[in-house]
Structure 1
Amino acid sequence: MTLIYGHRGAKGEAPENTLVGFQRCLEHGVRRCELDLHLSRDGELMVIHDPTLKRTTGRRGKVSEQDAAELANIDARQGGPGWVQPCPIPRLAELFEKCDFEHWQLEVKSASRVRATRTVLAIQELVERHGLRERITVTSSSREVLRALRRLAPDLSRGLVAEYAWLDPLKAARNHGCELLALNWTLCTPERLKRARQMGLRVSVWTVNEPALMRRLADFGVDSLITDFPGLAIATLGKG
């Protein structure tokens, strides 16, 4: 059974990485999600993909240069599906309180060693406070982030995000003690899946939006797929 994850909530159906997007995902019966994290200036985990505000809010500036209270008042519905109501940038804590997902993939973008350390410690503290350790996998393509996870939060499940094949993603995942390999779907072959299984890795593929591709990857035997259209995925594959 291939499990379905909503990408940034339900990116194709509602503004990405917003509360309404994650609620839309849950409305489809999809109880697993993927989201992106950046630290605010005052150290809170904010759910937004880019390091800058421009694409989703139209504002100038970096996420890291604003306090959480400021960010939580900025409307982030730009550039996605049309939405009538403002959709503020959420704190991760707010999503933990309001969205009952069975599993969360929390992606941390590239970071300096200091920033990776601060981010990992913030995730660990919030996850423990909400009692969600068994429902979380922290993913990253950043070696600094994966090293910080292994060093500072060894009990949290880790995943490597692999977009390109210039390094063997399976070896990199193993070297960082990962349980999950989040693969760009174009890198997913039956041979790579077989090797991942032999190494004890679960494989999640992204971003999968066409029904024929969903079926093909499910037939390959991927553990999960991440989609902008969780409703379409449910209609195509059934409830995963």
Structure 2
Amino acid sequence: MTQIFGHRGAAGTCPENTMVSFKAAFEAGADGIELDVQMSSDGQIVVIHDEKLDRTTNLKGFVKDFSYRELSKADASYKFADYAGHAPIPLLEEVLQWAASIPHFLVNIELKNGIIDYEGIEEKVIKIIRNFQMEKAAILSSFNHYSLAKCRELSEEIELGVLYSEGLYKPWEYAAKLKAGALHPHVYAVNRDIIVSAQARGISVRPFTVNNEAIMKELYEQNCSGFFTDYPEKARVLIPAT
């Protein structure tokens, strides 16, 4: 079964990485959501994609320079004016508390520590996952593969997804070295041979970010493990629930 992950929730129609967006993805029939985490100045794990607040909120500056109390007052409605005042930056705890109540719902947590080294972010995120007993429902991904290796040292049970954007030779072998159960390539860095070869070796393949309907259909026909999309409602229509 090809699983649909709402990329930053339902980011095509709602403010990305907000509870509004995550709930919309679930209501659209997504099998799970993808979100991004960074750390506030007081060590809280907050859900936001960019290192800086400028693009998606009414604040300016780096996430790392604000306390969560300050971040919680930000308006993260982004370009969706209808949600102004109703789309704050959530804590990872808030998202997992909600997701934990939904049977079989998956949460892909991307550690955004490729540019800023958030010391201890792996330990904090894994602790939160364990607090909500979501070890089997969570996936940890990152472009920082040193961070993924650290996550594996800290946890044997949580699945890891290797994020990459360009051609990687025999990526299933690389995933195996990291003890990762999944590859998360850019959609243009993957093809049928990679999907077949990886999945035959027990490595899931979930490309990002798939918004083109023709590509969605191709991935479904190839029995690809899953994909990330800004439009889970569109994907669900094309890929019927099983």
TM (norm. structure 2) is 0.91
User: 1 CA distance for matches of 2:144 and 2:201?
Assistant: 21
1:38-76, Cα deviation, whole Å (9 max, x unpaired): 011111111100111011014221111111121111111
Which secondary structure state, in structure 1, belongs to the residue aligned with residue 13 of structure 2? coil
* In 2: Cα distance, 1:150 partner to 1:29 partner: 30
Name the SS for the 2:74 alignment partner. Answer: coil
Query: For 1:34, what is the secondary structure of its paired residue?
Result: strand
Q: Is the 8 A contact 2:77 2:83 kept in 1?
A: no
Does the 8 Å contact 2:38/2:113 carry over to 1? no
**Partner residue in 1 for 2:84:** 85
Aligned residue pair count: 238
Give the distance between the partners of 1:7 and 1:113, measured in 2 at CA.
Answer: 22
Mean Cα deviation higher: 5-14 or 95-104: 95-104
- Mapped partners of 2:113, 2:46: distance in 1: 15
Letter in 1 for 2:229: T
Q: 1:36 to 1:124 in 2, by over 3 A?
A: same
TM-score of the two chains, using structure 1 as the length reference = 0.92
The whole-number CA distance in structure 2 between the counterparts of 1:41 and 1:97 is 23
SS in structure 2 opposite 1:93? helix
Equivalent residue, structure 2, for 1:49 = 49
Gaps of 5+ in 1: none
Query: Shift of residue 118 of structure 1?
Result: 0.7
Corresponding position of 2:111: 108
Which blocks of at least 5 consecutive residues in structure 2 are unaligned? Answer: none
SS in 1 for 2:206: strand
In 1, are the aligned partners of 2:138 and 2:158 still within 8 Å (CA)?
Answer: yes
2:64 equivalent to 1:64: yes
Query: Residues 125, 194 of structure 1: CA spacing in aligned structure 2 closer, same or farther, 3 A cutoff?
Result: same
Distance 2:4 2:92 in 1: 21
Distance of 2:115 and 2:232 partners within structure 1: 33
Counterparts of residues 7-46 of structure 1 (less than 5 Å)? 7-46=7-46
**CA-to-partner distance for each residue in 1:148-192, whole Å, 9 max, x for gaps?**
112222332111011111565333322211001111111221111
Pairs within 5 Å for 1:1-240: 1-79=1-79, 81-86=80-85, 87-99=87-99, 100-101=101-102, 102-111=105-114, 115=118, 118-165=120-167, 168-239=170-241
CA distance in 2, matches of 1:109, 1:168: 25
Partners of 2:58 and 2:167 in 1: CA distance: 33
CA contact (8 A) 1:40 1:67 kept: yes
Q: How far apart, CA to CA, are the structure 1 residues paired with 2:130 and 2:168?
A: 36
- Measure, in 2, the Cα distance between the counterparts of 1:238 and 1:160: 27
